[in-house]
Amino acid sequence: AQTIHQWPVAEIKAVGSPLSLGCTIKGKSSPNLYWYWQATGGTLQQLFYSITVGQVESVVQLNLSASRPKDDQFILSTEKLLLSHSGFYLCAWSSNWGGAGEQYFGPGTRLTVL
């Protein structure tokens, strides 16, 4: 069975500080990986996706960047946090073949920027 782990569980950071969030998936070879952002009670906004190691596509510009250094790892980062970066960050995966395009989410990281 596939498992998806995100770290850290929660972060409180100062405006202007750097950030790095991580996501690891086990039990699935060559998954498609995604980053989402969610405001409290809000919809899910896709930020990035990656279909292979070293390749990341940006969906929206929010002064964030993403990288996929390994097949099972996806990193979200920024050098300078803004207040608007506060929210719930979710990593998700989908199969790279077959399936209906459904995505499965990790437990998320709650970020508070002060």
Sites of contact with other proteins (CB under 8 A): 32, 34, 41-44, 46, 49, 51, 57, 59, 90, 94, 100-108
CB of 29 to other proteins, least distance (A): 17
CB of 78 to other proteins, least distance (A): 22
Query: Which residue, 50 or 78, is less far from other proteins as judged by CB?
Result: 50
Q: How many CB atoms are located within 10 Å of the residue 81 CB?
A: 21
111 burial (CB, 10 Å; 0-12 / 13-18 / 19+) is buried
Q: How far is residue 91's CA from residue 78's CA, in Å, rounded to a whole number?
A: 16
Query: Which residue, 60 or 82, is less far from other proteins as judged by CB?
Result: 60
Query: Which residue, 62 or 105, is less far from other proteins as judged by CB?
Result: 105
